[in-house]
A and B are shown apart, each in its own frame.
Chain A
Amino acid sequence: MRLSSFWRAESDARNVLFFLPAAILLGLVVVYPILRTTILSLFHLKLATQFQAEFAGPENFVRLLFDSRFHNSLKVTGLFTAVSVALEFGIGLLLALAANALVHGKGLVRTVLLVPWTLPTAIIAVLWTWIFNDQYGVLNALLMKTGITTEAIPWLAGPHTAMAAIIMADVWKTVPFVFPVLLAGLQNVPRELHEAIEMDGGGAWAKFKYVTWPHLLPFVFISIIFRIIQAFAIFDLVYVMTGGGPGGGTETVSLYSYQTYMRYLDFGYGSTLVVATVLILALTAFVLHTFLHRRYERQF
């Protein structure tokens, strides 16, 4: 290959220089912290040890096995991730299919729908907290005015309704991310194939199943994986809207780890929580990847 020989013509040391700033920055901000957290997960580092690291071996991990608060936070995070990603994907796909058929105004629709995604999640949390407020919130006012409910629902005061409120806020923010990705995917679908199906007498469902869906799969795959990783790390929405309450009903793993670090100042166990979370997330991603990949390959 001509070009790689062009690059090899100069000394290798100079090629490395292009990567050096990025390597330093990533080493400092990403690699070192990951290693440090992993090591700390095997240590006690808290007030009781006067903030001196003491080797703990597997003790923190044993504690984690019996920590019902951690188990609860895993359940909360799993539920939040599954429901919100499923909803975002469903709504995003419907919306992309509808918008793809638009002849005029695609740009306007994309601009309007992009706005929620650009706002800070923590600010979105403030925004929805007020809408869900039981006394003065506009949602209860609307529900009562239309006669759907007769009494004000204390949304953020019950664990299930609080979870529903957080999921709604998250879906509102992230459909605008899933939608343009899927729309781009739809615009990649070759028109001739649709025409071929029409000639064979196939209807809309046949077009979707045999042409659109297989072409869309890579986009579906990437947006779902990306969203699962983000949703699993959810922190801002919960911190601002409920603080994890009521009664731990919305406490996600990121929030519990944050409280362990910054409120209980237990840096060793906090690290253990974080490492365990990453391992569980990695396992989930691996299983999902294998599963989706196999289905994806079977399509062809």
Chain B
Amino acid sequence: MNVSSRTLIFLLCVIAVAPIAWHGISSLKTPAELTRLPPSLLPESPTLENYQELVRRRPRGTYYRNSFVISSLSSLLCVAVGSLAAYALARISSRIRTLVTSSLLAAAFFPPIVLLFPLYELIRTAGLTNHPWALIVPYAGLNLPFAIWLLTGYFRQIPYELDEAAAIDGLTRFQTFTTIILPLAGPALVTTGILVFIFSWNEFMFALTFMNLESAKTITVGIATLSGAFTYEIPWGLLAAGVVASSIPLIVLAVIFQRKIVAGLTAGAMQ
């Protein structure tokens, strides 16, 4: 282990954290201090003013609630639907499995903009604009190929003998799935669920297009469009507070589930 690799790792870790830390520090500064040149390293008189302003503008944590409801439900829906398909996929002939997984891969190849307008039409026709389901269903579907792909790999590691034993005991296939396979696959379901949650929380284009009322926006869109962009009076303190507020849930997830997230990402790449 030489010094230059250590330095490289250290340097890149600093670069990874510094911009977020800088926003954390800045969010505690007063507006006057924020526009002082050169910028001060630490806030002179730390204040929560920016966070209070954020709450005043968007009361009752509307953005948070929307994001949590939409991300959790789409994650649940995606894992439920995905695990059913993945179980069957893990247990059928390899010829069909290859066929299905490669078509799933092909589906993931299309940029999301391809889906935008037809989905927009569907949502408007169904009268679902500004309704959480306008994002829950598309997010679940969008992440489904990835979820099925990941889960199939996990289910294939569960020995066939368990299925056969269950069949001999008179369980139907669905009962085998719910009572034997699913509990065994718990960790895999959690990994997949967390990744889909993160993807949904972070999505921007659909959330921007399908939700136009302030009360329906997700936190990602809400904060990103907070500035009324490109004016000269950008509320930097408010934005810094917004960046911190919208990032905290994800940083917590990353720290707690680091192992699972990395395992999910690499398993997805390795198959």
Residues of A within 8 A of B (CB): 1-4, 6-7, 9-10, 14-15, 18-19, 21-22, 25-26, 28-34, 36-37, 40, 91, 94-95, 97-99, 101-103, 107, 109-123, 125-128, 130-131, 135-136, 138, 141, 144-145, 172, 175-177, 180-181, 184, 219, 222-223, 226, 229, 232-233, 235-236, 239-240, 243, 254, 257-258, 261-262, 267, 270-271, 274-275, 277-278, 281-282, 285
Contact = CB atoms under 8 A, between A and B. Distances in A.
A59 to B, nearest CB: 18
A277 B17 CA distance: 35
In the A-B complex, the 5 residue pairs with the smallest Cβ-Cβ separation, listed nearest first, are: A29-B141, A233-B111, A98-B5, A18-B88, A33-B118
Interface string B136-170: 01101110110010000000000010011001000
B220 A122 contact: yes
Contacts of B224: 120, 122-123, 125-126, 236, 240
A97 B167 CA distance: 48
B221 A122 contact: yes
Q: Which of B1, B198, B205 has the largest count of A CB atoms less than 10 A from its CB?
A: B205
Contacts of A223: 269
Contacts of B229: 240, 243
B12 interface: yes
A118 B250 contact: yes
Interface residues on B, range: 35 or more
B180 interface: no
A184 B266 contact: yes
Given A94-B8, A95-B8, A25 B240 contact: no
B107 A26 contact: yes
Contact of A267 (B39, B117, B251): B117
B84 interface: yes
Contacts of A138: 22, 39
B265 interface: yes
B144 A123 contact: no
B16 A136 contact: no
Contacts of B87: 18
Nearest to B115: A33
Contacts, number: 274
B258 A136 contact: no
B99 interface: no
B213 interface: no
A237 B62 CA distance: 24
Contacts of B202: 118-122
A232 B111 contact: yes
Contacts of A113: 12-13, 16
Given A29-B141, A30-B141, A98-B9, A21 B81 contact: yes
Given A22-B82, A240-B224, A267-B117, 18 more contacts: A25-B140, A32-B122, A33-B119, A107-B258, A119-B20, A126-B223, A126-B226, A135-B35, A172-B16, A181-B266, A184-B266, A222-B269, A233-B113, A243-B230, A257-B113, A275-B114, A278-B111, A281-B109
A112 B250 contact: no
Interface string B203-219: 11100110000000000
A21 B173 CA distance: 16
26 contacts: A3-B160, A10-B173, A19-B84, A26-B145, A28-B122, A29-B137, A30-B144, A33-B119, A36-B117, A37-B117, A40-B118, A98-B8, A102-B5, A109-B9, A112-B16, A113-B13, A114-B261, A115-B20, A118-B202, A119-B247, A120-B246, A127-B20, A141-B38, A172-B16, A219-B269, A277-B111
